[in-house]
């Protein structure tokens, strides 16, 4: 997978979104970037749904019982998003698009100030 950051405008480390909210960039499978402000404490999945990002289905509403919020986390952010839980690991095996080493369920990544600038790529399909 190509480095997703090459298509995203650079931001200074101190830059944040509106009212200090962390900014998350969702890259479509075709490479189109949608950068949105996400409330700290919300999940990457909730941020996508709240901002009308296409490509996140979220059938289970964030309970980690499906894999329809599958995302590929940019390699630079992998150490920052936390470990994959056993439940998430199992669900990722059922993802509609190919599982990769940087695959995560968006519902299991809590957005924090430390994740400002997070970049995730959406897979070709979720179901």
CA distance 53 to 71: 12
- Entry field: residues in the chain: 127
Query: Per CATH, which fold does 25-121 belong to?
Result: Ubiquitin-like (UB roll) (3.10.20)
Read off the pLDDT band of 8 (50, 70, 90): very low
The alpha carbon of residue 51 and the mean position of all alpha carbons in its chain are separated, in whole angstroms, by: 13
Q: Where are the domains of the chain?
A: 25-121
Q: Which residues of 31-47 are buried (b: 16+ CB within 10 A; e: fewer)?
A: eeebbbbbeeebbbbbb
pLDDT in tens, 79-94: 999 999 999 999 999 9
pLDDT digits (tens, 9 = 90+) for 16-27: 566 789 999 999
Measured distance CA(31)–CA(65) in Å, rounded: 28
Q: How far apart are CA 12 and CA 65, in angstroms?
A: 36
| pLDDT at residue 44, rounded to an integer | 98
Please report the pLDDT score of residue 17 as a whole number. 63
């Amino acid at each position: 997978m190509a480095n997703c950051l090459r298509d995203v405008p650079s931001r200074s480390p101190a830059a944040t979104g509106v009212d200090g909210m962390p900014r998350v960039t969702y890259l479509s499978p075709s490479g189109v970037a949608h950068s949105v402000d996400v409330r700290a404490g919300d999940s990457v999945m909730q941020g996508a749904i709240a901002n009308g990002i296409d490509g996140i289905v979220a059938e289970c509403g964030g309970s980690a019982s499906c894999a329809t919020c599958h995302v590929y986390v940019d390699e630079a952010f992998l150490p920052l998003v936390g470990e994959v839980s056993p439940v998430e690991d199992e669900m990722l095996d059922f993802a509609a698009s190919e599982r990769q080493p940087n695959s995560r369920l968006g519902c299991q990544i809590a957005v924090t100030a430390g994740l400002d600038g997070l970049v995730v790529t959406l897979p070709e399909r979720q179901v």
